Amino acid sequence: MKKILIISDGDVGSHFIQRVTQIHSSENIYYVVEIKAKEYEDVNPTRFKFYEFDPTSLYKLSNLLKMEFIQVIIAMDNLTDVENTIKNIRTIKKQLRIIVLNNWKLENEDPNVALINSKELLASRLIDYLPNVPVIAQNVGLGEGEIMEVLVPFGSSFVYRHIGVIEQKNWRIVAIYRNRKLVMPSRRRMIQPNDTLLLVGEPAVLKSVYRAIKRELGQFPEPFGSNLYLYIDMNIVNNSTIKELVRRAVFAHKKFKHHLIIKVVNPGNISILQHIKSFSGDNVVVAIEYDEKNLEKEFHSDIKLYHIGLIIVSKETFSDYKMRTILYESHVPVLKISDKSFSRVKDAALILSESRDLEKISATIFDISAQMGFNIDLYNYMAEYQDAKSQVIEHYYNLATIFSKSIKVVQENDNPLITLKQKENFIQILPFTQKLTQRRIYSLFSTDNEKLYHKLDDYHQIFIPVQL
């Protein structure tokens, strides 16, 4: 049995003792010293021993300290009494650990004296009630933010998503609180509005997750970044199409209302460069790389430097195997511009697959569609297995209700790629997974519509990373 000494004087100390009496533990015996004894409800006499005397009296306290305590907790209202009580304890027990409720600016260099700042505790608890501020566990684990509680708002991108399709890298959803009850998470469990999620993970990662949960429509390209980045390699892009590429990128930039950085590498046509420079200003930055550098390293450096949330490239650039791999490794959405009109696009086409990756990026799809004014069309190839697809369709219908945006589900007996190739204009949105980085020749005999994205190369496409 471990003996713990509690020295109390005042309302806080009395409240603490009452709380301790409610803790069901048979391993501790508590010795309570009060200047004036109080009555406590439901006290187990085998676990609590009460004494009434002034702990600033060395003689009286020394008799009690003849026993071996593992810890002393002091909760008193008078600073002088606290200082003298600590002094008395140290006269008798040099190494005994002392926990002190510090209502003042009390300082003590003794490594075995822990000062608990009451004002900090109160302020920290009040901060937990501020809206849009994550609640971080202070007294569990490391207390550095690796345990976090987040309320899911009604318009959150996480609402009506199955836990199994949420990419949880270096973090986990470990509990759900719904209607003041604990709900254990499972892969098929769906997150509801006003759920409180208990998260565990790396503190830096949890901060990003918190922002993603709180994000509502109209924030794209957040949480990936803040600005747009048009990348033009004049060794790859056809010079005759560059002017239209820039014009369409500027159109997208005005829709998303963020800064646009136009980066030109391997410059080779002076008149085209002058045309690009004419767009400089009005939140458009033109950067031309004249020197031969490590373009891949420079590219990733720019993504961080400019906090890029959407990369815009030509279809020739995305067709380049090496460049496509670089784009994938940036973990940023990519808008691939084709030769068709971009301002006249009305429909966003999504081809359902068994991977359910479209559920992972659903919030971003709704955000893009809302800002660009796209209708959302889901193409369901009926010849394939339907169980996973039906859950994705259910998820999209739920999000459509939340965001007041209509969607259309097109049931296809033929491969949707054939149907879509007959449409005049649309934009395809699909998950940007590693399988898209493979050389196109390896997908010729594939039945995976995502691998066959290049079959719709003449249309605009947006590739969205599945990682959070």
How does pLDDT run across 74-111, given as a tens digit for each residue?
Answer: 999 999 999 999 999 999 999 999 999 999 888 888 88
Residue 98 structure tokens? 């002392």
Average pLDDT over residues 184-197: 91
Q: Which residue has the higher pLDDT, 415 or 463?
A: 463
Q: Give residue 414's pLDDT.
A: 86
> In this predicted model, what pLDDT tens digit does every residue of 415-426 receive, in sequence order?
889 999 999 999
Across 69-73, 81-85, 87-91, 449-453, least confident range: 449-453
Q: Give residue 121's pLDDT.
A: 82
Residue 373 structure tokens? 């004014």
Average pLDDT over residues 59-88: 94
Q: Give residue 143's pLDDT.
A: 67
pLDDT at 187 over 60: yes
Q: Give residue 258's pLDDT.
A: 84
Q: Give residue 213's pLDDT.
A: 82
Q: Give residue 82's pLDDT.
A: 95
CATH architecture of 347-465: 3-Layer(aba) Sandwich (3.40)
> In this predicted model, what pLDDT tens digit does every residue of 390-412 receive, in sequence order?
888 888 887 787 667 889 999 98
**Which residues touch 430 (CB under 8 Å, ≥6 apart)?**
350, 351, 358, 450, 453, 461, 462, 463, 464
**Which is it for the CA torsion 130, 135, 140, 146, positive or negative?**
negative
Among candidate residues 230, 241, 163, 149, the one with its CA nearest the CA of residue 197: 149
> In this predicted model, what pLDDT tens digit does every residue of 331-353 receive, in sequence order?
999 999 999 999 899 999 999 98
Average pLDDT over residues 439-450: 82
pTM for the model stands at 0.64
Binned at pLDDT 50, 70 and 90, residue 125 comes out as confident
Average model confidence (pLDDT) across the chain: 88
Whole-number Å distance between alpha carbons of 162 and 189:
6
- Domain positions in the chain are 2-122, 130-214, 227-332, 347-465
Whole-number Å distance between alpha carbons of 282 and 260:
9
**Which residues touch 15 (CB under 8 Å, ≥6 apart)?**
none
Is the fold of 2-122 the same as that of 347-465? Answer: yes
Across 48-52, 72-76, 256-260, 439-443, least confident range: 439-443
The pLDDT > 70 percentage for the chain reads: 96
Whole-number Å distance between alpha carbons of 210 and 192:
16
Average pLDDT over residues 312-322: 94
Q: Give residue 400's pLDDT.
A: 81
Helices (H), 9-151: 11-21, 58-64, 79-92, 118-127
Whole-number Å distance between alpha carbons of 105 and 79:
10
Binned at pLDDT 50, 70 and 90, residue 139 comes out as low
One of 3.30.450.20, 1.10.238.10, 3.40.50.11100, 3.40.50.1370 is the CATH number of 227-332, namely 3.40.50.11100
Q: Give residue 310's pLDDT.
A: 95
Q: Give residue 395's pLDDT.
A: 82
One of 3.30.70.1450, 1.10.645.10, 3.40.30.10, 3.40.228.10 is the CATH number of 130-214, namely 3.30.70.1450
Task: Answer yes or no: CATH 3.40.50.720 is held by domain 2-122.
Answer: yes
pLDDT at 211 over 60: yes
b/e per residue, 192-206, with b = 16+ CB within 10 A?
beebebbbbbeeebb
Q: Which residue has the higher pLDDT, 130 or 414?
A: 414
Residue 124 structure tokens? 């920290």
Whole-number Å distance between alpha carbons of 77 and 444:
79
Across 128-142, 178-192, 214-228, 268-282, least confident range: 128-142
Binned at pLDDT 50, 70 and 90, residue 24 comes out as low
Q: Give residue 217's pLDDT.
A: 65
Whether residue 199 contacts residue 172, with contact meaning beta carbons closer than 8 Å, is answered with yes
Rg for the chain, CA atoms, rounded: 31
Whole-number Å distance between alpha carbons of 148 and 210:
9
Q: Which residue has the higher pLDDT, 33 or 240?
A: 33
Among candidate residues 359, 318, 329, the one with its CA nearest the CA of residue 459: 318
Whether residue 356 contacts residue 433, with contact meaning beta carbons closer than 8 Å, is answered with no
Across 112-116, 142-146, 206-210, least confident range: 142-146
